[in-house]
Amino acid sequence: MKDFSELISVRRSHRKFTEEAVSEDDLRLIVRAGLIAPSSKGLHACEFVVVRDGKTIGQLSRCKAQGADFVVGAPVVIAVVGLPEVSDAWIEDGSVAATMMLLQAEDLGLGACWVQIRDRKDAEGGNAEDNVRRILGLSERLRVLSIIAVGHKGMERKPFNEDRLLWDKVHVYSPLIPLDL
């Protein structure tokens, strides 16, 4: 098993998948990771919709103008939807949960990729969130943060290049030296 520091560097976004199905056990572990995720006030203001129907996945791949088309090749898509009435931190809750699911997928040797839906448009200028709500039959009360494509990796990707780490984004505060931010 990889240790955590290795896991986070080998996790890359995967957009090509084989036709092999994702097992029930693996899928359960992935959504479990989302449910375990920390959340503001412990309110867990997000829900997950697991989609395995190929036709529906095809429709989801066309829900926005760019960056979702590859989803058509994924055996599983998990929509991360937020509940603003439960917490104003639904975006953060959903984002942490999505990240945990991406890492759990990698730990299982699966590939995954986050596809942004919130505040995105389709090819005709329509709202991508409305499209996902319509495709999945979700209530207007729900916000759609992202859809996560999951599957067996169709290609290998190199780990994150440590030489490209942006260490200049890290600032060490001192009361004597003002930060240039």
Ligand X SMILES: Cc1cc2nc3c(=O)[nH]c(=O)nc-3n(C[C@H](O)[C@H](O)[C@H](O)COP(=O)(O)O)c2cc1C
Contact footprint for ligand X (CB under 6 A): 12-13, 15, 67, 113-116, 160
Please name which of 150, 57, 145 lies closest in space to residue 103, comparing C-alpha atoms: 150
| Alpha-helical segments (H) within the chain | 4-10, 24-36, 54-60, 90-107, 128-136
Dihedral (CA of 86, 114, 100, 136) sign: positive
Q: Which residue is nearest to ligand X (CB)?
A: 67
| Smallest gap from residue 146 Cβ to ligand X (A) | 7
- Taking the least distance from each CB to ligand X, the nearer of 13 and 23 is 13
- Taking the least distance from each CB to ligand X, the nearer of 12 and 16 is 12
| Smallest gap from residue 153 Cβ to ligand X (A) | 12
- Taking the least distance from each CB to ligand X, the nearer of 90 and 114 is 114
Report whether 62 contacts 54 (CB < 8 A). Answer: no
| Smallest gap from residue 50 Cβ to ligand X (A) | 19
